[in-house]
């Protein structure tokens, strides 16, 4: 078993705002990749890489012991992939860490499955270290990495390859009210709660209530997960959802996705 933990990790400096550093476990079957990510992230203020794992089988015991804020998870691993490792974290822990998938290709089918399993978002392995660090900070703070166009393309590919469209009659979809479906559609277009409030001409608190209901009824632990489940269950159809042309908060990956508070 190839693991390292806080006993061998470089001490991280405090976050720029004086908050405790975000603790991270890096999971990748390539030793050089893990070493590179550790070195790059430990050099970033406010991030502390407290552990590494070389396979998905090692993730649950390591996370149980170290309790990191975020797991930076590769999806392609030989014994247990990152998809199943993410599922195990959600199933076994009452308060699992946020999972950010790190991938070579954003259109990889594995990314879709990892998001469906509950990952908070994804980022490319070749992204600059500043972007990876910012993504980690965002999800640790309760935000979600949402790439509307990429999710729509992934959904389109997924259902084109699976004509039966599994999960179409899911009871979770039937539980949504019309207003919750409308809110979910705007979430999928990348709108923040404030923007949804303006579109629906309702209060911000009402939007937060709708978003919370959507997450609860779809059994989703973040906005990205909710959107993926919505495609999977037929609440959303890939060809009918496009990214919104309104203003969006900047995102480190540079592809203008929305980054929105979960509630």
Q: What is the mean pLDDT of the chain?
A: 80
Indicate if the alpha-carbon torsion angle 60, 62, 67, 73 is positive or negative. Answer: negative
The whole-number pLDDT of residue 170 equals: 62
Confidence of residue 29 (pLDDT cuts 50, 70, 90): very high
For the chain, the residue count is 263
Weakest-pLDDT range from 23-37, 74-88, 180-194, 239-253: 239-253
* Residue whose pair of structure tokens reads 């809110």 in the numeric block: 183
The whole-number pLDDT of residue 62 equals: 96
Long-range contact pairs involving 98-101 (C-beta distance under 8 Å, separation at least 24): 98/69, 98/70, 98/71, 98/139, 98/140, 98/222, 99/70, 99/71, 99/73, 100/70, 100/71, 100/72, 100/73, 100/135, 100/136, 100/139, 100/145, 101/73, 101/74, 101/75
Question: In angstroms, rounded to a whole number, what is the distance separating the alpha carbons of residues 203 and 95?
Answer: 30
Rg (CA), the chain: 18
- The neighbouring-strand residues paired with 21 are none
The whole-number pLDDT of residue 1 equals: 34
| pTM higher than the cut 0.75 | no
- The neighbouring-strand residues paired with 123 are 102
State pLDDT tens for residues 110-158: 888 888 888 988 888 888 989 999 999 988 987 777 777 777 877 777 7
Report whether pLDDT(263) > 80.
no
Confidence of residue 18 (pLDDT cuts 50, 70, 90): low
Confidence of residue 106 (pLDDT cuts 50, 70, 90): low
Q: What is the 3-state secondary structure (H, E, C) of 78-104?
A: CCCCHHHHHHHHHHHCCCCCEEEEEEC
The whole-number pLDDT of residue 198 equals: 93
Report whether pLDDT(80) > 50.
yes
For residue 4, give both structure tokens: 């390292």
Q: Where are the alpha helices (DSSP H) in the chain?
A: 31-42, 59-66, 82-92, 109-116, 129-140, 148-161, 171-174, 178-188, 193-200, 204-217, 223-233
For residue 167, give both structure tokens: 């999960």
Give mean pLDDT, residues 244-256: 40
Comparison of pLDDT for 238 and 96, the residue scoring more = 96
Question: In angstroms, rounded to a whole number, what is the distance separating the alpha carbons of residues 22 and 133?
Answer: 10
The whole-number pLDDT of residue 241 equals: 66
Percentage of residues in the chain with pLDDT exceeding 70?
A: 78
């Amino acid at each position: 078993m190839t693991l390292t933990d806080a006993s061998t990790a470089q001490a991280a400096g405090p976050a720029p705002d004086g908050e405790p550093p975000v603790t991270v476990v890096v999971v990748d079957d390539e030793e050089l990749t893990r070493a590179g990510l550790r070195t790059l992230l430990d050099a970033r203020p406010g991030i502390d890489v407290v552990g590494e794992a070389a396979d998905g089988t090692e993730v649950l015991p390591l996370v149980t012991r170290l309790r990191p804020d975020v797991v930076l998870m590769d999806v392609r691993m030989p014994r247990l992939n990152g998809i199943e490792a993410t599922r195990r974290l959600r199933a076994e822990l009452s308060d699992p860490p946020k999972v950010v998938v790190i991938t070579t290709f954003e259109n990889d089918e594995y990314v879709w499955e990892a998001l469906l399993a509950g990952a908070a978002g994804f980022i490319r392995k070749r992204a600059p270290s500043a972007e990876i660090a910012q993504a980690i900070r965002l999800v640790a703070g309760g935000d979600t990495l949402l790439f509307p166009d990429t999710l729509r393309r992934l959904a389109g590919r997924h259902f084109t390859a699976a004509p039966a469209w599994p999960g179409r009659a899911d009871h979770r979809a039937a539980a949504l009210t019309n207003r919750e479906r409308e809110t979910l559609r705007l979430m999928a277009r990348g709108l923040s709660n404030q923007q949804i409030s303006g579109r629906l001409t309702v209060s911000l608190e009402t939007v937060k209530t709708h978003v919370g209901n959507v997450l609860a009824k779809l059994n989703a632990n973040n906005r990205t997960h909710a959107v993926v489940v919505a495609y999977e269950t037929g609440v959303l159809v890939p060809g009918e959802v496009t990214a919104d042309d309104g203003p969006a908060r900047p995102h480190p990956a540079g592809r203008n996705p929305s980054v929105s508070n979960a509630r």
